[in-house]
């Protein structure tokens, strides 16, 4: 499959949609389902092996090229979000959830995202 293969992309989108629906089901059930050890239907093993690109979007900014070219080490870029606002969880370019930044209990020098809303 090449990057410009619409049929392959459509198949990935269908698999991603199915995975999102299963994630919603697990979250609404409050935990694991009994069908398989990881909480999905028996055929979910195919979906669970699909690699996806997960991004946490803290915010964005728009600026002219001249400002972009003037950025240097130590420059600050003002984002469109304020402290405390939810961050977006994006999978393969599609927002699937929102969450809040949290410190990891196991390692306070790192942070993660606690999901607060699944996109509908």
Instruction: Answer with the residue of higher pLDDT: 24 or 41.
Output: 24
* Phi, psi at 99, each rounded to 5°: -160, 180
Q: Of 18, 117, 112, 12, which is closest to residue 56 (Cα–Cα)?
A: 112
Q: Which residue ranges make up each domain of the chain?
A: 1-51, 53-120
pLDDT recorded at residue 13: 75
pLDDT digits (tens, 9 = 90+) for 53-79: 899 999 999 999 999 999 999 999 999
Superfamily of domain 53-120: SpoA-like (2.30.330.10)
- C-alpha separations of 108 from 29, 83, 102, 104, 105 in Å: 30, 19, 9, 5, 6
pLDDT recorded at residue 21: 75
- Are the beta carbons of 41 and 35 closer than 8 angstroms? yes
C-alpha–C-alpha distance, residues 72 and 105, integer Å: 34
């Amino acid at each position: 499959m090449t990057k410009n293969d619409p049929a392959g992309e459509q198949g990935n989108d269908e698999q991603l949609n199915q995975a999102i629906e299963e994630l919603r089901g697990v979250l609404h059930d409050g935990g694991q389902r009994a069908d398989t050890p990881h909480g999905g239907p028996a055929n979910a093993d195919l979906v669970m092996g699909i690699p996806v690109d997960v991004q946490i979007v803290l915010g964005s900014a728009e600026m002219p090229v001249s400002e972009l070219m003037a950025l240097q080490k130590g420059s600050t870029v003002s984002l469109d979000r304020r402290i405390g606002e939810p961050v977006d969880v994006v999978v393969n370019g599609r927002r699937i959830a929102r969450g809040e930044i949290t410190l990891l209990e196991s390692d306070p020098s790192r942070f993660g995202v606690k999901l607060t809303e699944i996109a509908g």
